[in-house]
Amino acid sequence: MPLYAAYGSNLDPEIMAKRAPHSPLWSTGWLAGWRLTFGGGGSEWGGALTTLVEDSGSSVFVALYDVPACDEPLLDSWEGTDNGVYSRIRVRVRTLLDGDATAWVYVLNDYEGGLPSALSLGAIADAAEKAGAPAAYVAELRGRPCASVDL
């Protein structure tokens, strides 16, 4: 089965169970040479959207899921590939127990820049914590700046 590397709210196995119910967690690992960042978005999103960019000095914690063909369209639709928000690319993931694996990730089809909403950033940090990310990684996520929201 193809592997999907989640780096945002899909890090949380409970969230993934709702979005792709036949896709079990396989492992966790790191995308070496990539950086978690934000871009695009607008007022309808409440802030910039989560994405990855290549950066030789960075790594991103990911959860790897086995995704059968029946769940791929569900996940693609959730991630917005059908309306061009995100595209899939293949990456190499380093796992602690299973060695290197090839997986796909979703990357934003827009520019890098902007701040995420506090809600989005909090959801990513919570999901990373649930997936077993190191405390320092979660703390770095929680310490990032976020967009101010007018209430």
DSSP 64-90: EEE--TTTHHHHHHHHTTTTTSEEEEE
136 is known to lie in a ligand binding site: no
Q: What is the mean pLDDT of residues 60-72?
A: 97
Q: According to the annotation, is 7 in a ligand binding site?
A: yes
Domains defined along the chain, listed by start: 3-134 (3.10.490.10)
Find the mean pLDDT for residues 36-55. 84
**First-last CA distance in the chain:** 45
Is 69 annotated to bind a ligand? Reply is no
Q: What integer pLDDT is reported at residue 96 of this predicted model?
A: 81
Q: Is 137 exposed, middle or buried (0-12, 13-18, 19+ CB in 10 A)?
A: middle
pLDDT given for residue 102 in this prediction: 96
* pLDDT tens-digit readout, 125-144: 999 999 999 999 999 999 99
d(CA 41, CA 116): 9
- Percent with pLDDT over 70 in the chain: 94
Q: Is 113 annotated as a binding residue?
A: no
Q: Quote the pLDDT of residue 151.
A: 46
What global pTM score does this model have? 0.92
pLDDT band per the 50, 70, 90 thresholds, residue 45: low
pLDDT of 36 > 70? The answer is yes
Residue 150: pLDDT over 60? no
- Work out the pLDDT band at 43, boundaries 50, 70, 90: low
Q: Catalytic site residues?
A: 79
For 68-117, write each residue's pLDDT tens digit.
Answer: 999 999 999 999 898 899 999 999 999 988 789 999 999 999 999 889 99
Q: Residues in the chain, how many?
A: 151
Consult the annotation and say whether 137 binds a ligand.
no
Integer Rg of the chain from CA: 15
Report the C-alpha gap between 48 and 51 in whole angstroms.
9
Average per-residue pLDDT for the chain: 92
CB 142 within 8 A of CB 74: no
pLDDT at 1: 65
Burial of 63-94, coded b for 16+ CB within 10 Å and e otherwise, reads bbbbbeeebbebbbebbebeeebbeeeebebe
Q: What is the pLDDT of residue 47?
A: 84
